[in-house]
Amino acid sequence: MNGGDADVAAAPAAPPPELEWKFSQVFGERTAGEEVQEVDIISAIEFDKSGDHLATGDRGGRVVLFERTDTKENGGSRKDLEKTDYSTSRHPEFRYKTEFQSHEPEFDYLKSLEIEEKINKIRWCQTANGALFLLSTNDKTIKFWKVQEKKIKKIASMNMDPSKVAGKNTIAGSSDSSITNSYLVNGGCKDKSSTNLINDFKFPSGGIPSLRLPVVTYNETSLVPRCRRVYAHAHDYHINSISNNSDGETFISADDLRINLWNLEISNQSFNIVDVKPANMEDLTEVITCAEFHPTHCSTLAYSSSKGSIRLIDLRQSALCDKHSKLFEEQEAPGSRSFFTEIIASISDIKFGRDGRYILSRDYMTLKLWDINMDSGPVSTFQVHEHLRPRLCDLYENDSIFDKFECCLSGDSQRVATGSYSNLFRVFGCASGSTEATTLEASKNPMRRQVQTPSRPSRSLSSITRAVRRGGGESPDANGNSFDFTTKLLHLAWHPSENSIACAAANSLYMYYA
């Protein structure tokens, strides 16, 4: 009996069931044949920590905010509803809140360089006094925004009752004329007798009906965005990422060669904490591609490189963190090196799990999940673009191989997601024993497709790809499905506490829930 109980206790927990994803909402949906303006294409998506607000940035320098509505209509936050055993049968719903122009196009006269207004990254900061705070950046300048709801003052009416004005107001009439005549501008008086008149004067009971005063009301509120700080002139190269610290006071910004540490309240000074620029630029072998603070340890951050490595650094070790505390990289398989090896190994995005135990990284071909306590290799690898390996030459010629796809983790770190071509995004289960691998299309009617398992590539894949016109926009996968390289889903975000994903397809924002 005891031995049987021990075996049952040692058995691993079953992986969570596969999620059934459903369409929730779309903002900015295109009509058939509608041409998308370049400035309207979404370039950044971010949920705040509560999940009640969502921000998007576009190539036109605008930031658009959305707020959740289903929790408000049900009478409280989701946590409160769960405490009272209130079952929410409705799926998450968001509505447009406000938008503002965050960045404008600029020109660097010293370098003769145009600076795009495109929003590269958005990060939410801690809320205070009912106001929302967020950081947004383009290639060169970071801005700290405060969005607050303010009441609009409106004069509704005058307090005069016309029926009481006529006749019988002799005191008010005589006093009013004498007072008006005796006063000068700035409070001066013609003679001292007028002061005695004021002292002797008393308001009649019920007030003076002919005294007209405006009645101010606060019926409407307006959201007012205000730029609190501008952090500029600190990066020689394009800013690729920003990340705010768990201490609520500092944040980092990273470009190709340097990472700077800022205080939110100080815009004219930053500290360089990582510098990979060699003395001779000809010796440059790798660049920084992304940087992210640990979600709970304010002295720990990670940054990725174009060689496929992730470095964990501790700000307590030294002022300039030239040496990493941990290095995460996967050893290259012998004999597998090719012209494209370094290009496809470059990490385009990294994300910490909510508890800080895991780091998710995205390179061109795969998603990798790393345990920060194990630097020998990733704990899981998910094949995303393995079916495109025979077409790397074509992807290089049309520059698609340099596309930077983002990635995200669920709040419980049980699942990961990333985008692909043809406006597809993929969700993988990363719990022990999970085989979940779902492919969805960013549309109102997402087509569920099973991801091709890398261990069983189709024999006909090479023959199919050879038949496609070189450099063409579409490529069929192993199942004969066509992939359109001109439509790509680069940006997506997972709700911090629910199974809800927001993703951007050109100028449209799609939301799904499970």
DSSP states of 217-246 as a string? EEEEEEEEEEEEEEE-S--SS---EEEE-T
CA distance 491 to 58: 11
Question: Is the pLDDT score of 89 beyond 70?
Answer: no
| Residue 404 confidence class, pLDDT cut points 50, 70, 90 | very high
Average pLDDT, integer, range 477-497: 80
Look at residue 197 in the predicted model and tell me its pLDDT.
Answer: 53
Tens of pLDDT along 253-286? 999 999 999 999 999 999 999 999 999 999 999 9
Q: Round the average pLDDT of the chain to a whole number and report it.
A: 82
Tokens 């910004």 sit at which residue? 253
pLDDT at 411: 92
pLDDT at 511: 95
DSSP states along 465-503: HHHSPTT-SEEE-TTS-EEETTSB--EEEE-SSSSEEEE
- The reported pLDDT for the residue numbered 96 is 95
The number of beta carbons lying within 10 Å of the beta carbon of residue 191 is 8
**pLDDT confidence of 367, banded at 50, 70, 90?**
very high
Give the rounded percent of residues in the chain with a pLDDT score beyond 90: 60
Q: Would you state the pLDDT for residue 84? A: 45
Token pair for 153: 């003052």
Element (DSSP H or E) covering residue 180: helix 170-182
CB proximity list for 505: less than 8 A, separation 6 or greater: 423, 442, 443, 487, 489
Tokens 């070189």 map to which residue? 470
DSSP bridge partners of 142: 137, 231
Q: For residue 54, what pLDDT is reported? A: 97
Count of positions (residues) in the chain: 514
Which pLDDT does position 221 carry in this prediction? 81
Q: Do 222 and 149 contact (CB within 8 A), yes or no?
A: yes
CA distance 77 to 69: 10
Query: Considering the entire predicted model, what is its pTM?
Result: 0.78
How far apart, in whole angstroms, are the C-alpha atoms of residue 332 and residue 341? 9
One-character DSSP codes across 343-401: HHH---EEEE-TTSSEEEEE-SSEEEEEETT--SS-SEEEESSGGGGGGHHHHHHTTGG
* Angle value at C-alpha 206, between 203 and 210, nearest 5 degrees: 75
160 versus 97: which is more confidently predicted? Answer: 97
Give the separation between CA 33 and CA 47, rounded to whole angstroms.
31
93 and 498 Cβ atoms separated by less than 8 Å: no
Predicted local confidence at residue 61, as pLDDT: 96
Pairing of strands 121-124, 500-505: unpaired
Mean pLDDT of 46-75: 89
Identify the three-state secondary structure at position 327: strand
Segments in 250-357 forming alpha helices (H): 341-345
Q: How confident is the model at residue 348 (pLDDT cuts 50, 70, 90)?
A: very high
Would you state the pLDDT for residue 31? 78
Those residues with Cβ within 8 angstroms of residue 167's Cβ, 6 or more apart along the chain or in another chain: none
Task: Measure the CA–CA gap between 279 and 282, rounded to whole angstroms.
Answer: 9
Task: Give residue 444's pLDDT.
Answer: 84
Lowest average pLDDT, out of 25-39, 157-171, 334-348, goes to 157-171
Task: Please tell me the number of Cα atoms within 13 Å of 143 on its side-chain side.
Answer: 24
- Report which of residues 41 and 187 the model is more confident about: 41
Query: Are 358 and 409 contacting, i.e. CB atoms less than 8 angstroms apart?
Result: yes
Q: Is the pLDDT of residue 103 over 70?
A: yes
Positive or negative CA dihedral for 478, 483, 489, 490? Answer: positive
> 193 falls in which pLDDT band (50, 70, 90)?
low
What's the average model confidence in pLDDT over 94-104? 96
Q: Is the Cβ–Cβ distance between 362 and 378 less than 8 Å?
A: no
pLDDT band at 16 (very low <50, low <70, confident <90, very high): confident
87: pLDDT strictly greater than 90? no
pLDDT for residue 214: 79
Residue 172 has pLDDT above 90, yes or no: no
In the predicted model, is pLDDT for residue 65 greater than 50?
yes
Residues with Cβ within 8 Å of residue 57, at least 6 apart in sequence: 42, 43, 44, 63, 64, 102, 118, 119, 120, 121, 122, 136
In this prediction, residue 472 carries a pLDDT of 37
For residues 174, 179, 182 and 188, what is the CA-based torsion angle, rounded to 10 degrees?
Answer: 180
Kindly give the pairing relationship between strand 415-419 and strand 424-429. Answer: antiparallel
Q: Three-state secondary structure along 38-52?
A: HHHCEEEEEECCCCC
Please check the confidence at residue 402 and state whether its pLDDT lies above 70: yes
Give the pLDDT confidence of 461-480 residue by residue, as tens digits: 333 222 233 333 455 544 44
pLDDT 10s digits, 224-236: 999 999 999 999 9
In the numeric block, the tokens 């010293």 are attached to 110
pLDDT-wise least confident of 110-124, 316-330, 332-346, 450-464: 450-464
Say how far apart CA 145 and CA 153 lie, in whole Å.
24
CA distance 322 to 273: 8
Please tell me the distance from the alpha carbon of residue 448 to that of residue 487, in angstroms, as a whole number: 18
